[in-house]
């Protein structure tokens, strides 16, 4: 089994970027509306989702629980939207993926693909890993 935690997509939603008066920097980085859309999608299939938070140059991030497991996602706008979904529990990086995380990743792919606000969704092991991306985040 291979989990692809990174995704890339486009969206017709507003970018929500707010520039400084001189236009040389951002007061608010883009991706808020996409992060909110994803949070709504996660809530629809049973996740307990916190409100997305501005993460400055990283975009927007959001903590949530699925089957009692602490998970997190981030949305970053760099021409396209880059998404990443992670298991943020302490032991997550030190062992095989937890069953709840695997189940979440199996559900999130179809949920986001059905969301008409998100387009051209592809999944990757790493962002811009040189592949054409996959249609699903979990492959056997």
Determine the structural domain holding residue 46 and report its residue range: 2-139
Residue recorded with tokens 């602490």: 70
Domain count, the chain: 1
Q: Does the pLDDT of residue 45 top 90, yes or no?
A: yes
Strands 118-124 and 69-78: unpaired
Instruction: Tell whether the torsion through CA atoms of 110, 94, 133 and 138 is positive or negative.
Output: negative
pLDDT band at 90 (very low <50, low <70, confident <90, very high): low
pLDDT band at 92 (very low <50, low <70, confident <90, very high): low
Nearest of 55, 64, 68, 56 to residue 100 by alpha carbon: 68
Angle between helix 32-44 and 99-113 (nearest 10) = 110
The CATH number given to whatever domain includes residue 114 is: 3.30.310
This prediction has a pTM of 0.93
């Amino acid at each position: 089994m291979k989990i692809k935690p990174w995704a890339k997509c486009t969206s017709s939603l507003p970018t929500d970027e707010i520039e400084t008066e001189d236009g040389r920097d951002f007061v608010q980085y883009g991706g808020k509306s996409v992060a909110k859309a994803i949070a709504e999608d996660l809530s629809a299939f049973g996740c307990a989702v916190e409100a997305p938070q501005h993460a400055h140059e990283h975009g927007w991030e959001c903590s949530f629980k699925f089957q009692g497991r602490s998970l997190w996602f981030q949305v970053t706008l760099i021409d396209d939207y880059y998404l990443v979904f992670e298991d943020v529990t302490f032991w997550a990086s030190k062992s095989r993926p937890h069953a709840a995380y695997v189940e979440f990743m199996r559900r999130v792919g179809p949920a986001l693909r059905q969301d008409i606000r998100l387009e051209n969704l592809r999944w990757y092991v790493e962002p811009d890993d040189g592949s054409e991306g996959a249609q699903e985040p979990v492959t056997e």
